[in-house]
């Protein structure tokens, strides 16, 4: 008993623990809000966060943009400013992630689960960030369903170039690399239209 010194948990240890919990909770909030900022900027207008194949000034449909753009519709910036903002946001989220990872044992599971669910919802509502993959998937389905072209033997460049998914896809010289079950799934989405198929694919 004389060899062990009892430490008052209300002292410096408790202060450090409280500080770690507060910092990690703030870091989770920063990750969520920064993600929402980036998604909202991408939704509000075409920019560096979006592929020019799918979103150009004057050709960025609301069904693709999603609902979050209203949060930053007032904000205008040059491409350089957007790049700086994106870099700063990525650096901020990295620091926040490291804080959360370091303090993970002190975090309440409900906070972590809440942040995970919120982040999933944010990115579910986002436009396709700098990628055209989803439109390539849908284009293969439309090739078979609408034009009766086998996407495993016919490249998309041979389909009518006026097709709405052809115009916003870019794998025009590539046979479908996906298995038949996935292709059947994309064919089943065709009756929903391009917009409906896009959101159905995101919810899948």
- The pLDDT, as a whole number, for residue 77 is 83
Compute the average pLDDT of residues 39-56: 87
pLDDT at 109 exceeding the cut of 80: yes
What is the average per-residue pLDDT within 156-178? 93
Structure tokens at 5: 């010194």
Better-scored residue on pLDDT, 188 or 57: 188
Does the pLDDT at position 48 exceed 90? no
Q: Identify the weakest region by mean pLDDT among 51-60, 106-115, 169-178.
A: 51-60
> Residue 1's pLDDT is what?
47
Q: What integer best gives the mean pLDDT of the chain?
A: 88
Q: DSSP 3-state assignment of 59?
A: strand
> Across residues 175-198, what is the average pLDDT?
94
* Best CA proximity match to 156, nearest among 53, 170, 197: 170
| The overall pTM is greater than 0.85 | no
Q: How confident is the model at residue 103 (pLDDT cuts 50, 70, 90)?
A: confident
Considering only 28-32, 47-51, 63-67, 164-168, which range has the smallest mean pLDDT? 47-51
Secondary structure string (H, E, C) spanning 152-195: CCCCHHHCCCCCHHHHCCCCCCCCCCCCHHHHHHHHHHHHHHHH
Cβ atoms of 97 and 34 within 8 Å: the answer is no
Q: Which secondary-structure segment (H or E) carries 119? A: helix 109-124
pLDDT given for residue 7 in this prediction: 53
Q: What is the pLDDT of residues 119-150, one digit of tens each?
A: 999 999 999 888 889 999 999 999 999 999 99
Q: Determine the Cα–Cα distance for residues 132 and 64; give it in Å rounded to an integer.
A: 12
pLDDT tier for residue 105 given thresholds of 50, 70 and 90: confident
Q: Taking residues 71-77, what's their average pLDDT?
A: 88
| Residue percentage of the chain with pLDDT more than 70 | 91
E strands present in 47-174: none
């Amino acid at each position: 008993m004389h060899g062990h010194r009892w430490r008052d948990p209300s002292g410096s240890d408790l202060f450090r623990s409280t500080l770690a919990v507060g910092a990690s909770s703030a870091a989770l909030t920063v990750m969520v809000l920064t993600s929402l900022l980036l998604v909202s900027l991408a939704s509000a207008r075409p920019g560096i966060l979006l592929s020019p194949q799918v979103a150009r000034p004057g050709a960025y449909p609301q069904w693709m943009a999603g609902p979050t753009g209203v949060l930053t519709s007032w904000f205008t910036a040059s491409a350089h400013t957007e790049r700086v903002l994106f870099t700063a946001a990525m650096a901020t989220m990295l620091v926040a992630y490291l804080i959360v990872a370091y303090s993970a044992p002190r975090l309440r599971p409900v906070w972590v689960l809440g942040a995970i669910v919120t982040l999933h919802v944010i990115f579910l509502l986002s436009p396709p960030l700098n990628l055209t993959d989803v439109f390539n998937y849908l284009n293969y389905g439309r090739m078979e369903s609408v034009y009766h072209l086998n996407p495993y033997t016919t490249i998309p460049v041979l389909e009518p170039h006026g097709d709405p998914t052809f115009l916003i896809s870019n794998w025009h010289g590539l046979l479908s690399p996906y298995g038949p079950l996935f292709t059947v799934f994309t064919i089943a989405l065709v009756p929903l239209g391009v917009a409906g198929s896009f959101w159905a694919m995101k919810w899948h």
